[in-house]
Each structure stands twice: as C-alpha cells, then as structure tokens.
Amino acid sequence: MRKETKTKVLFFVILVGSVCMFTAVVTDHWAVLSPRVNNINTTCEAVHFGLWKLCKKHIYIEDKEYVGKGCGPISLPGEMNCSYFRHFTPGKDSDIFEVKTQREYNISGAAIALFSLAFVILGTLCVLCSLKKGKDYMYKPAGMFFTFAGLCAFISVEVMRQSVLRMIDSKHTIWIEYYYSWSFACAYTGFVLLLLSGIGLVLVSMPQMPRNPWESCMDAEPEQM
C-alpha cells in the first residue's frame, strides 16, 4: 500500500475518533444509575449523567415485576429534570453524590477530556499546515498529538468508570444498579481510534527502512507516493 493511501486511511480514522470523542464530551449519557424499587404505584428516580450535566428521571412504577429491582429502564416515560454540575461549589448535588470525592472525580474526568480535545485540535492544525505546504514533515508531531489525545481519552474514561464504581459501593448513596451508556462507548471508541491512528501516523512519517544491512536510512530508496 502506498504511503499516500495509508495516510488517507489514517486521516479518516482520526476524523471518526475525533467525532466520537467530541460527542462523548458534550453529551450526558456516560452512565445510568438506578435505586431499588420497593413498592408499586410509586415514583422512583433514575439518573444519567456525563462530564457536565446530570439528568434525573422520575418514573412511575405500577408493575410488580420491578419490585426489588433497579428503577427503570430509563427509557420508560417520566418527568426529566437536567442540571449542570456545580463542580467548584461544595455542598451542591449532595443528594446524588458524595460531594467532596465525587466532585474531584468529575473535575478530573472533565479536565482530562478537554485536554484530549485540545490535543486533537493541535494535531489537526499540524495536518492542515502540512497539507497546505505540501510537506509531510508535520505528520510526526500530528501523530504524537493524536496519540496523546487517545491517552487522555483513556484516562478520562477510567476516571469516570472509577467514579461510578465508587458511587455504587458507597453506603451514602442509594444506587444499586448501573450501566455505561452510549456516551461512554463513544469516549472508549475515540480512545482506541485516536491512539492507534496517532501511532500509525508517526510510523508512516518515518523514513523508509533500508532494504540491505549496509545501507543507511538516507541511502534507502524513497517510498512511492
């Protein structure tokens, strides 16, 4: 496969990974939490949240099969109330989270996700500069930026995963069931695509290895474009 074709494939993968990561950052379906249903003909409160926003859904339970199980599924009809996290205001959202610890998790996850997007932007600028000048010497720093973006996406995903597990295990919260939703899947997909395509772009930007042991990299024939 020619170098030009490899580069186009990598650019497409980077584009898909960037869109997935951006979608994960701006949406609020990273995780869904449910309390236990104890009675019928009552309302329970399920929650889904992301890096910036939390939504509570009041679901009316009238079927006996839900008793003893988690509230939901969240797709059931009900009244929805959403609010943005007050990350830097202690004492807020205390009915949902352990305030001090959970606030630190959310701040960390959100900040690292923003770093991921910043690296994506820097990598994109390097690619655009390289294409404008018709040179590929900027592919290597671009690949490194995209690799860093993938690593930051992974750290953000892991921080949010630990956040959810901590809430489930805590004695101070009411949640008994959880699952990771489509925003979480977008972030994980972004991590994989950005990391692999970033490494691939770095490898593609390297000079062709010599075919004979007595040649140096400078002596090797240039790769066909």
Q: What is the mean pLDDT of residues 76-98?
A: 61
Rounded Cα–Cα distance for residues 144 and 140 (Å): 6
Rounded Cα–Cα distance for residues 185 and 116 (Å): 16
SS3 73: coil
Say which CATH topology domain 3-205 has. Butyryl-CoA Dehydrogenase, subunit A; domain 3 (1.20.140)
The residue with greater pLDDT, 194 or 59, is 194
Give the range with max mean pLDDT: 25-29, 36-40, 119-123: 119-123
The pLDDT > 70 percentage for the chain reads 79
Quick one: angle between helices 3-26 and 99-133, nearest 10?
150
Q: What distances in angstroms separate CA 41 from CA 38, 78, 79, one per listed residue?
A: 10, 13, 16
90: confidence class by pLDDT, cuts 50, 70, 90: very low
Position 92 scores a pLDDT of: 47
Residue from 223, 221, 187, 186 nearest 204 by CA: 223
Tens-place pLDDT, residues 95-132: 455 444 556 777 888 899 999 999 999 999 988 888 87
Position 132 scores a pLDDT of: 78
State the CB neighbour count (10 A cutoff) for residue 199.
Answer: 16
Position 21 scores a pLDDT of: 94
210: confidence class by pLDDT, cuts 50, 70, 90: low
Rounded Cα–Cα distance for residues 219 and 225 (Å): 18
Extents of the domains making up the chain: 3-205
The residue with greater pLDDT, 22 or 209, is 22
Q: Which residues pair with 56 in a beta bridge?
A: 47, 81
The residue with greater pLDDT, 49 or 106, is 49
Contacts of residue 170, Cβ cutoff 8 Å, sequence gap at least 6: 98
157: confidence class by pLDDT, cuts 50, 70, 90: very high
pLDDT of residue 68 exceeding 80 = no
Residue written as tokens 């809430």? 167
The residue with greater pLDDT, 167 or 134, is 167
Position 144 scores a pLDDT of: 94
Position 62 scores a pLDDT of: 75
SS3 60: strand
Position 17 scores a pLDDT of: 94
Average pLDDT, the chain: 79
Position 166 scores a pLDDT of: 80
**Strands 78-84 and 42-49: what pairing?**
unpaired
**Tokens in use for 141?**
């720093």
82: confidence class by pLDDT, cuts 50, 70, 90: confident
The pLDDT > 90 percentage for the chain reads 29
